Structure 1
């Protein structure tokens, strides 16, 4: 084993070189095992070159020199494109030297003699460039290769350089452990013979069998995926996701998963959808009830565009302005209450739901207004006249039936007295009637008061009867409050 120690020292000096089928993930490899040296190829003889070199290539028992211990070690490094370079050191003991001599005693049927040259020690240091076919045949187990290189061999007291073509086959048990078989033809630079006629620089075959261990790949997160191929090198992940994690196991990597801790759907960026309405729970205002995307996943039973949870009438369609309920039409006149100025009194839409003031109504107002009497020369209602309050009440009822109608209360006098006094008196009496109606609940915005004095007589002021007719109060319809006629 002292020779093996020398070999190990030699190999450790060249740890920067390498061969075998490692790759960019595990760029380094170390191999060790047993080697066999076969000198028959330098013996000569045979019918031709192929017969000389390969006729007894596997006559291991007869021709191979095998040291029964670890007798070779190699270190290799992957350099890219299926190529690797390496250095191998080997040791052996030559106790079977093959020579072609048909005249010598003990030769075999082909004329070869196997002799013991005195247990010559054999040392070899070889550099190799190796090409692996493993990726080309798309295999993860079988790894065939070809190699070429050169080396230096110490053969007893002799030493010489060699050119080394070779082939190998490795069976990988795991990603980083394999059984390697190799054979190399070491062609020496000129066969020389010693004084006994024995070549002291023989070309020969060297075969090896051993274990190969790949290493050097960096896997920071320990997920079995090397950093160079790991999209998430610092977080343990899965091979199918290039080393990135999928915490919730939904098939979407955490980096692309909007809900990385909840099992979800790819269509929703990895988020769950409990009610199956196509709206992710995180965005669903009603996650347990099937709903509409437009309403953030909430249902709209009546289809009015308002989510049931916000709809005051979820089963009856209605506008948003009314809380999802239909607008009422209390008087059933076809004009919704919101647009109806008279929601409790039926009227046409042309008058905003209010009844129209008819000629008959105006005639009634005329009769009632002219029956309101005042004290002589004053704007106060006639004392002791019980009919006047009743007339005012009747006028109130008529006006309140037309809440959007505008009315003008007009005062008139006879021609007795000056125009200035008459104008003032007629205006005061008109205001007295208007105020009485307002006190009775008529909307003041629907009333105006005007005095015309004696300018608009309806009878002759030359007779007592005519003057009595001219002293009057009239109420006229002047439009609705939307017509802007006041």
Structure 2
């Protein structure tokens, strides 16, 4: 049993030393002294007088010194001097006891269970102490007179009744549990059980006076415990609750209020905003008209980012670059000056907003394949290939030949193709389609592959002469579409050919 109580005592002592390290809300008065009337009873081998009060005489026998640690815990020292006497079938005893206890007090008015300023506050208390006793009596026919010094445990519970900030009344009932079982002059090893171990009930009622300097962290004259605004800056005038004065009652303290005598908007440093546009009247250039913050409270009726006073087209949404006037087709010329208001996006225009047409052929530059040479709209703005040029191409095509069964150009064919290069250079907007053909000698698939090779051989010659490969389309068709009979050698020679066609992509 003693080991169990020793463990409890060790835990309580650790709690006493650790609690001051716990960050807690400060109280106004951290110290308190108390004086108590004691009513004491005994329970042990001789009798059980708990709650009977038959042998109790009230004495002013206890004094306490209380130290606030945090909202949940106090540490206190209790000094008690009291008399306990009892009698029974085994005899009687009369003891005078002095006790000094170091206790830990748990308060239920800690802000979690009850409010800290609760009028009635329950508590639990426990601790470890020293007891000195002068005992005398007669037990089992033998008289005794003895002094004892022992360690004791104490645990109890009580109520505190708050009168005001300084004064309170406390009632408490607890048990002194000494380690010595001879306080009544008798110890029977056969009865060495919890039920017969000497214990003393300690009932008290007393008054407590609290003292100590009230904490005032912000120095505004209102203690932290009562201060509803504990972080008030130094030198700021406060009310009785410790909060900065707010003369116009707009929720913005005077020291932060740019308009302290006019109720205003907290979001506007306490200044009014008559037109409700989010700009305080003192900064609003148009205080009677709801406007925009970026325009110092002035309106932008058409929402184009140009305030009405600077907008040359205030009823039509326009562009900042044109002082609020619109440019529907986005060509950089405002609608009121644009003679071509539907110009396609990205087209370069003249001062009148019309798309440029350098060669004046009626086809605008962005759609003109030959923007510097006048042509036909049906031909993408390019001139048609001249008839004599068409004849030159036809002549060249008829005279481009290959070695029999091969895709190798003849020497004469290469000279003719030089003329085709010259034509393509003269018509840079045009592309060339090369179609390759064979005679009917051999298998169809082989002829198709051969004609493809001959068309690509022709393309390769032209690109090697500087013509962009993207301007040339080469395709082989084999022995289809003959232009002469394949029954004779002369006819077959004509069928082994390429054809040229100029076109604009």
Normalising by structure 1, we get a TM-score of 0.44
